[in-house]
Amino acid sequence: MKNVELFNVSKSYEKQKEVISDISVSIEPGEFFVLVGPSGCGKSTILRMIAGLEDITKGSLRIDGNEVNLLPPSKRDISMVFQNYALYPHLNVEENIVFGLDVKKVKKFERKERCMEVAEMLGLTDYLKRKPRHLSGGQRQRVALARAIVNQAPICLMDEPLSNLDAKLRAHMRSEIRQIQRKLKITMIYVTHDQVEAMTMGDRIMILNEGKIQQVGKPIDVYNAPANPFVAQFIGSPPMNLATANINLSKQELSIGGRLKLSIPSNDLQSYQEDTVTLGIRPEYLKIVNSINTKSTNNYLDVKVEHVEVLGNETIVSFQLDTYRWQAKWNGQWNVDVGDIVPIAINYESICLFNSASGHLIKGPTQVENHIIHEVTV
Amino acid sequence: MKSQVELNGMLDNVVKKKKGIWQQSLNWRTALLYLLPSLILFSVFLFYPMGKTLYLSFFLTDRQGEANVFVGLENYLYLLESEAFLKSIKATILFVLYTVPTGIIISLFLALLANEKLKGIGFFRTIFASTMGISVAASSVVWLFLFHPSVGFLNKIIASLGGQGVDWLLDPKWALLSVSITTIWMNIGFTFLIILGGIQNIDEHLYESAKIDGAGYFYQLRRITIPMLSPTLFFVITVSLINAFQTFGQVDILTQGGPSESTNLIVYSIYREAFVNYQFGTASAQSIFLFLCILVVTILQFKFGEKKVHYQ
């Protein structure tokens, strides 16, 4: 177990604009750390800089406290899994797995032993003599994984390792990789563009956009209190609904397009200086109002359904709110037709507010459906 | 009751049965139409001459090349006993051994150099590949000047170093080597380009992965580049072998088969037999012999060489 620290790391190509700017983060030993962002945000470049495959233009990279900016990849105690697996097509599975050991002149007996051990762990024992082209996508993925862990490097880097697999296999490999990481206590740095992978696998995640850190934190914290509208829309599916809202301090009111008015508790008033903010709300917090009583208050909206997706255990309803397209997610199956008028309630407790200029989070949701298993069972 | 769909299906079958051979072979005839241009060209320039050569090899001919007397396999028997022909075969085999391995090794070396990502590497790539654009005649003439015993550049270098000049093209010991050097130089362009293309096709990630494992340059060369390049090398070796067997132009210009027939490669020997000595019969027999040699070598190569080739 080793830690990896980045101090003000930047990267620019041929003195052009920086593609990575000022990244500082400390990755703890044994942590599963996920870099996530849209394609072209620089997450792979950061990974390749940690691996030593790209130069670091500015800043310092430390592994276990020692600066390693100038060390070659092989001296950094890392292993890496590539997106296309980078298996040697002319070597069979066994030769692929022990390639690194062969380079390091590990004894033949030990090589064999370690190979068998890893093959067993990943269920590759029957395929050791096959060439990569005779393996399925999932098996190739496992070989790539085996090749990374057979080196027993304390740090493992993965560059979108699951993106070439089908959805079912991907879900399976997610938990498998996570389990292996826990078992071997490797420090894992994992790059993905898939927010589901980030949410489900990471101890902590770092969301990147255009080469800049947007937010670093535990997945659930990022989900509940996104630092800015970008993170809010990137993490979570369907994404967080956003709209411009106006604050009327004298009336203690928050209004969306003049149609929906939420009253602001007096405690919160002093934190609002601006007139307009960006309001965000997760699709699952958009509740349907089904009793007439609750309609007496102001905090509901009649919206016209534009699209419905029933996913079996949940229903996603899309509608237009002013110029924004919003989506609501309800548990269970709802018999809603396109064109229906549905009353939707918004609670002040479950909304996020962002500064409309800088994008910073002003207020996160205070009422989250956060269940703790001990409380339920006791 | 049968549904309408089933009825339609039966109707289709009936119609199909009624279609004659003419209708059924529609696809074949279409394919033939597309093949026709190449069939015509191949027939005129390849199949017919080949047949004619085989035919002539069984005859004695007059000066116009018309078949005169049927002699059966006598032309072949004569060849196998002819000292000149055996010498020509020996020269050809030596020539192949000189040019093919050396040419490929040099090209591979140049391709590895030109594959490095350096500034201005495009210039070197162009230079290395440039011999591909020079005709055999032109380059032979250039080399003729370089090899010139008194004013030639090569001998001038040797002289300036204090050595004794070499009669490159006039000494029977040197002549074949000189022709080989010229040929290697001329073939490098093509071979280099194909190998460079092969190298650039290798996935960069393989090298990155090896780098993380700590593999050095020569380890990567031995365990990644060469195996991954094997299909390209196989192709290049096959083509170079066939080319070397068929060498003609540079011999004609540089040495005319001399001195004392030391550079009388088989194709040149065929040419002389046919168009200088007007022995079209024995020339045809030599051609058939050459054809069989190339065929056997290529088959052997595919049989034994291809096993070591890794196709992706």
Separation in Å, CA of B129 to nearest CA in chain A = 29
Contacts A75 to B, Cβ<8 Å: 214
Contacts B226 to A, Cβ<8 Å: none
Three-state secondary structure call for residue A53 = coil
Does A99 touch chain B if contact means CB atoms closer than 8 Å? yes
Assess if residue B41 is contained within a domain.
Answer: no
If you measure CA to CA, which chain B residue comes closest to A95?
B223
What is the total residue count of chain B?
Answer: 312
Contact B212 A73 (CB under 8 A): yes
Candidates A88, A97, A105, A130: best to mutate against B (most CBs of B within 10 A) is A88
Domain A238-366 part of CATH 2.40.50.140: yes
Separation in Å, CA of A40 to nearest CA in chain B = 19
* Cα–Cα distance measured from residue A236 to residue A232, given in angstroms and rounded to the nearest whole number: 7
Nearest to A79 among B208, B212, B227 (CB): B212
Of A29-43, B207-221, B251-265, the range with the lowest mean pLDDT is B251-265
Q: Where in chain A is the domain with CATH 3.40.50.300?
A: 4-229
* Local confidence band at B15 (pLDDT 50, 70, 90 cut-offs): low
Residue B282: the pLDDT is: 87
Which residues have CB under 8 Å from B53's CB, separation 6+? B284, B287, B288
- A93 contacts A129 by C-beta, under 8 angstroms: yes
Question: Residue by residue, what is the 3-state secondary structure of A57-121?
Answer: CEEEEEECCEECCCCCHHHCCEEEECCCCCCCCCCCHHHHHHHHHHHCCCCHHHHHHHHHHHHHH
- B145 contacts B182 by C-beta, under 8 angstroms: no
Q: What is the pLDDT along chain A (378 residues), one digit of tens a residue?
A: 788 999 999 988 877 788 888 899 999 999 999 999 998 888 999 999 999 998 898 899 999 888 999 999 988 889 999 988 899 998 999 999 999 888 888 898 999 999 999 998 888 889 999 999 899 888 898 899 999 989 888 999 999 988 888 888 888 889 989 998 998 899 999 999 999 999 999 999 999 998 899 999 999 999 988 999 999 999 988 899 998 888 888 888 888 877 778 888 877 777 787 888 899 999 988 888 765 555 555 567 788 899 999 988 999 999 988 788 999 998 888 888 898 888 888 888 888 889 888 888 888 887 666 666 665 554
- A237 contacts A231 by C-beta, under 8 angstroms: no
Beta strands in chain B (DSSP E): 59-61, 67-70
Candidates A50, A90, A97, A99: best to mutate against B (most CBs of B within 10 A) is A90
Separation in Å, CA of B146 to nearest CA in chain A = 45
Nearest to A86 among B208, B223, B230 (CB): B208
* Cα–Cα distance measured from residue A366 to residue A301, given in angstroms and rounded to the nearest whole number: 22
* Cα–Cα distance measured from residue A36 to residue A226, given in angstroms and rounded to the nearest whole number: 14
For this complex, say whether ipTM is above 0.85: no
Contact B208 A72 (CB under 8 A): no
If you measure CA to CA, which chain A residue comes closest to B208?
A53
Which residues have CB under 8 Å from B309's CB, separation 6+? B230, B231, B234
Alpha carbon B174 to its chain's center: 24
What domain count does chain B have?
1
Does A51 touch chain B if contact means CB atoms closer than 8 Å? yes
Q: Which residues pair with A328 in a beta bridge?
A: A317
Assess if residue B19 is contained within a domain.
Answer: no
Residue B17: the pLDDT is: 56
- B130 contacts B187 by C-beta, under 8 angstroms: no
- A158 contacts A78 by C-beta, under 8 angstroms: no
Contact B213 A72 (CB under 8 A): no
If you measure CA to CA, which chain A residue comes closest to B229?
A90
Which residues have CB under 8 Å from B123's CB, separation 6+? none
B245: domain CATH number? 1.10.3720.10
Around B168, how many Cα atoms within 13 Å sit in the side-chain half-sphere? 21
* Local confidence band at B10 (pLDDT 50, 70, 90 cut-offs): low
Find the distance separating the first CA and the last CA of chain B, reported in whole Å.
56
Assess if residue B40 is contained within a domain.
Answer: no
Q: Where in chain A is the domain with CATH 2.40.50.140?
A: 238-366
Residue B302: both structure tokens together: 């595919």
Nearest to A88 among B206, B219, B230 (CB): B206
Please name the helix (run of DSSP H) or strand (run of DSSP E) that holds residue B29, with its range, or none. helix B26-42
The sign one gets for the Cα dihedral A335, A340, A346, A351 is positive
* Cα–Cα distance measured from residue A192 to residue A230, given in angstroms and rounded to the nearest whole number: 17
Contacts A160 to B, Cβ<8 Å: none
Separation in Å, CA of B192 to nearest CA in chain A = 23
Assess if residue B163 is contained within a domain.
Answer: yes
Assess if residue B14 is contained within a domain.
Answer: no
DSSP class of residue A338 equals T
CB-defined contacts A:B, below 8 A: 62
- A32 contacts A38 by C-beta, under 8 angstroms: no
- A208 contacts A42 by C-beta, under 8 angstroms: yes
Nearest to B310 among A52, A86, A90 (CB): A90
Quick: pLDDT tens for B120-156.
899 999 999 988 888 989 999 999 888 888 888 888 8
CATH topology of domain A4-229: Rossmann fold (3.40.50)
DSSP A163-175: TTS-HHHHHHHHH
Assess if residue B97 is contained within a domain.
Answer: yes
Which residues have CB under 8 Å from B187's CB, separation 6+? B99, B103, B107, B131, B240, B243
Assess if residue B118 is contained within a domain.
Answer: yes
Contact B310 A89 (CB under 8 A): yes
Residue A259: the pLDDT is: 74
Residue A378: the pLDDT is: 47
- Strand pairing category for A260-263 and A276-281: unpaired
Please name the helix (run of DSSP H) or strand (run of DSSP E) that holds residue A127, with its range, or none. none
Q: Which residues pair with B198 in a beta bridge?
A: none
Separation in Å, CA of A38 to nearest CA in chain B = 22
The answer, yes or no, to whether residue B300 has pLDDT greater than 70, is yes
Residue B200: the pLDDT is: 92
Separation in Å, CA of A221 to nearest CA in chain B = 34
Residue B111: the pLDDT is: 94
Judging by beta carbons within 10 Å of its beta carbon (0-12, 13-18, 19+), is residue A314 exposed, middle or buried?
middle
Contacts B206 to A, Cβ<8 Å: 86, 88
Residues spanned by the domain of B154: 78-308
Assess if residue B179 is contained within a domain.
Answer: yes
Three-state secondary structure call for residue A198 = helix
Nearest to B192 by CA among B247, B250, B113: B113
